[in-house]
Chain A
Amino acid sequence: MEQQTNPESPIAVAGLRKSFGEQTVLAGITFQLEPGKVTCVLGRSGTGKSVLLKLLIGLEKPDAGSIRLVGQDMASASTKELNEARKKVGFLFQQAALYDSMSIEENVAFPLRRHTTLSADERRARVHELLASVGMDRDLDKRPSQLSGGMRKRVGLARALALDPVVVMFDEPTAGLDSITASEIADLIVEMRQKRHVTSIVVTHNLRTAKTVADRLIVLDCGKTLFDGTFDGFHRCDSPLIAKFVKDAA
């Protein structure tokens, strides 16, 4: 039965398929995000979670299926329309992907400089405000190479929030971090949902992170949706993979 598309949904995906050569990564994924909620996409490494995010933002093209991002059909979008949609989306990459040639301040100012008409003073004030919100308002002249993994993620989050996005996508936000820093990053995601009411999609293989931040869980396995629901349903699910997730997180 075909799922009804909610026009309010900032991200709606139907029948999404993607293969690289012989390897099928996504084999028909369908879901919609609820506005203002955090959805976690959980799965083992190599199950296409990061590819899913890249498809959503238009960095990869799907083999089949449709993606609607903030009201824009990504398949039929012109470059201009694609970029307009992207301006409404923040993206935190796995390794933060800060620009090495720029300082922390310049990294966060980059989207503001490109897409707003703010004066230099207004821009500086906005950058300070954003960096303060993630606890990084010191050492603004430092380069990304001088930061720890956790600090990079914080700056990356500040940059992702620069244009007041409607949707924020997180690619493994706590991967490679110690448990304390990971929980700090997860707390920032929760705080962001409470203060800014943005819709978020968090890709992770860490159930603890998912537990802290998520309103809804989607579990991917072998390119298909194994589970889609709340934590209550997740714990009741009798799938061996989900049981293993629960056991490992305990």
Chain B
Amino acid sequence: MATTVAPRPAMGDLARSFGQPLQVMVEWVGDLGLFCWRVTKAIFSRPFEGAEFLRQLDAIGAKSLPLIALAGAATGAVLSLQTRNSLTRFGAKSLLPAVIVFSLIKETGPVITGLVASGRIGAGIGAELGSMRVTEQIDAMEASAVNPHKYLAATRILACMVALPLLTLAADFAGILMGWVATTLAEPMSLKLFLSNGFHRVNFNDVIPPTLKTAVFGLIIGVVSCFQGMRTRGGTEGVGRAATSSVVISSLLIVVTDVLLVKLIVEFF
């Protein structure tokens, strides 16, 4: 009886199937490095784009405030609702304000801000710059002797870096306030007492490093979304891809970077 043997893939096919994605990835990393170098050079060269930076700070920061504050508020309320039962079981209900405050300012507030901002800001920048690329607006800017890495990318990246810590403070504030509202609805407690219990053992090292680490999240969102937007190819479909990939890659990098930053903060503060 004849037996059939499945054809083994040739070494060339195997190399191609592994080699092509690897080549794409190496190219992506190389292009990203080149992009970062151009943006860094642009940031430190004159003229400084102060007006455009402020416009982007408004578009990125002020216009994201309601969404970030809402996300922070919801997190604060959920923390209160979820933690109350657990703490009651362990006889530590009096620690509820401190748990809400510590959780929000040290980790939940910064990470929620980073992830929500990567969705709102990352998609916005990716789609805007992508659309400018495919409609030749970026070429037009370059042709009129204006550096798009400075005018479009550097201003947005710096605005993200400045806006994220401020948005984090807003998320923390809204979260703590809603945490108190949820707590006081279950068991009445004055805001003064809630804050006094919550912030009793909080010091600057609990607030400043976690808040400032979101500047790194801002850097990630700004760099990734500007890079993905400015290298868009393939018309409107490409714009959609740029927006999606901006959100996916920056969210992924934020989650991974957060682990490293928390480790560093724990080590040094």
Contact call A94/B136, Cβ cutoff below 8 A = yes
Chain A nearest CB, measured from B243 CB (Å)? 15
Check if B14 is an interface residue, CB within 8 A of chain A.
no
Contact call A95/B135, Cβ cutoff below 8 A = yes
Question: What chain B residues lie within 8 Å of A89 (beta carbons)?
Answer: 143
Given A91-B140, A97-B140, the answer on whether A115 and B135 have CB atoms closer than 8 Å is: no
Chain B nearest CB, measured from A145 CB (Å)? 11
Contact call B144/A95, Cβ cutoff below 8 A = no
Question: What chain A residues lie within 8 Å of B136 (beta carbons)?
Answer: 93-95, 97
Tell me the residues in window 139-158 of chain B with beta carbons closer than 8 Å to chain A beta carbons.
139-147
Contact call A97/B146, Cβ cutoff below 8 A = no
Contact call A115/B145, Cβ cutoff below 8 A = yes
Check if A83 is an interface residue, CB within 8 A of chain B.
yes
- Which of B131, B144, B147 is A110 in contact with, Cβ under 8 Å? B144
Contact call A111/B144, Cβ cutoff below 8 A = yes
- Which of A59, A99, A101, A115 is B142 in contact with, Cβ under 8 Å? A59
Question: What chain A residues lie within 8 Å of B142 (beta carbons)?
Answer: 59, 86
- Interface size class on chain B is 10 to 19
Check if B137 is an interface residue, CB within 8 A of chain A.
yes
Tell me the residues in window 7-53 of chain B with beta carbons closer than 8 Å to chain A beta carbons.
none
**New A-B pairs, 8, CB < 8 Å, besides A86-B143, A98-B137, A115-B145:** A59-B139, A79-B147, A87-B145, A97-B140, A101-B128, A111-B146, A115-B144, A163-B144
Per the bound structure, the CA–CA distance linking A101 and B156 in Å amounts to 14
Check if A2 is an interface residue, CB within 8 A of chain B.
no
Tell me the residues in window 79-120 of chain A with beta carbons closer than 8 Å to chain B beta carbons.
79, 82-84, 86-87, 89, 91, 93-95, 97-101, 110-111, 114-115
Question: What chain A residues lie within 8 Å of B261 (beta carbons)?
Answer: none
Contact call A114/B137, Cβ cutoff below 8 A = no
Check if B166 is an interface residue, CB within 8 A of chain A.
no
Check if B132 is an interface residue, CB within 8 A of chain A.
yes
Question: What chain A residues lie within 8 Å of B140 (beta carbons)?
Answer: 91, 93, 97-99
Question: What chain A residues lie within 8 Å of B132 (beta carbons)?
Answer: 99-100
Chain B nearest CB, measured from A214 CB (Å)? 22
Chain B nearest CB, measured from A21 CB (Å)? 13
Question: What chain A residues lie within 8 Å of B144 (beta carbons)?
Answer: 86-87, 91, 110-111, 114-115, 159, 163
- Which of B128, B135, B139, B146 is A54 in contact with, Cβ under 8 Å? B139
Closest to A87 in B: B145
Per the bound structure, the CA–CA distance linking A110 and B144 in Å amounts to 9
Check if A189 is an interface residue, CB within 8 A of chain B.
no
Question: What chain B residues lie within 8 Å of A157 (beta carbons)?
Answer: none
Tell me the residues in window 202-247 of chain A with beta carbons closer than 8 Å to chain B beta carbons.
none
Bitwise interface map of A from 40 to 69 toward B, beta carbon under 8 Å scored 1, else 0? 000000000000001001010000000000
Per the bound structure, the CA–CA distance linking A101 and B140 in Å amounts to 14
Per the bound structure, the CA–CA distance linking A159 and B141 in Å amounts to 11
Can you list 12 A-B pairs with a CB-CB distance of less than 8 A? A54-B139, A59-B139, A87-B145, A93-B139, A93-B140, A95-B136, A97-B139, A100-B132, A101-B128, A111-B144, A114-B146, A115-B144
Chain B nearest CB, measured from A78 CB (Å)? 13
Per the bound structure, the CA–CA distance linking A93 and B141 in Å amounts to 11
Chain A nearest CB, measured from B100 CB (Å)? 41
Chain A nearest CB, measured from B67 CB (Å)? 21
Chain B nearest CB, measured from A72 CB (Å)? 12
Closest to B134 in A: A95
User: Which 10 pairs, one residue from A and one from B, show the smallest C-beta to C-beta distance?
Assistant: A97-B140, A83-B145, A97-B136, A86-B145, A91-B143, A93-B136, A111-B144, A87-B145, A57-B143, A97-B137
Question: What chain A residues lie within 8 Å of B141 (beta carbons)?
Answer: 99
Q: Name the residue among B128, B140, B141, B146 with the largest chain A CB count within 10 angstroms.
A: B140
- Which of A79, A91, A97, A110 is B135 in contact with, Cβ under 8 Å? A97
Question: What chain A residues lie within 8 Å of B131 (beta carbons)?
Answer: 100
Question: What chain A residues lie within 8 Å of B145 (beta carbons)?
Answer: 82-84, 86-87, 111, 114-115
Chain B nearest CB, measured from A41 CB (Å)? 17
Contact call A59/B143, Cβ cutoff below 8 A = yes
- Which of A87, A99, A111 is B137 in contact with, Cβ under 8 Å? A99
Question: What chain B residues lie within 8 Å of A111 (beta carbons)?
Answer: 144-146
Per the bound structure, the CA–CA distance linking A57 and B143 in Å amounts to 7
Question: What chain B residues lie within 8 Å of A163 (beta carbons)?
Answer: 144
Per the bound structure, the CA–CA distance linking A91 and B137 in Å amounts to 12
Q: Name the residue among A59, A95, A97, A100 with the largest chain B CB count within 10 angstroms.
A: A97
Chain B nearest CB, measured from A65 CB (Å)? 20
Per the bound structure, the CA–CA distance linking A83 and B131 in Å amounts to 24
Per the bound structure, the CA–CA distance linking A41 and B70 in Å amounts to 57
Chain B nearest CB, measured from A1 CB (Å)? 34
Question: What chain B residues lie within 8 Å of A59 (beta carbons)?
Answer: 139, 142-143
Closest to A82 in B: B145
Question: What chain B residues lie within 8 Å of A115 (beta carbons)?
Answer: 144-145
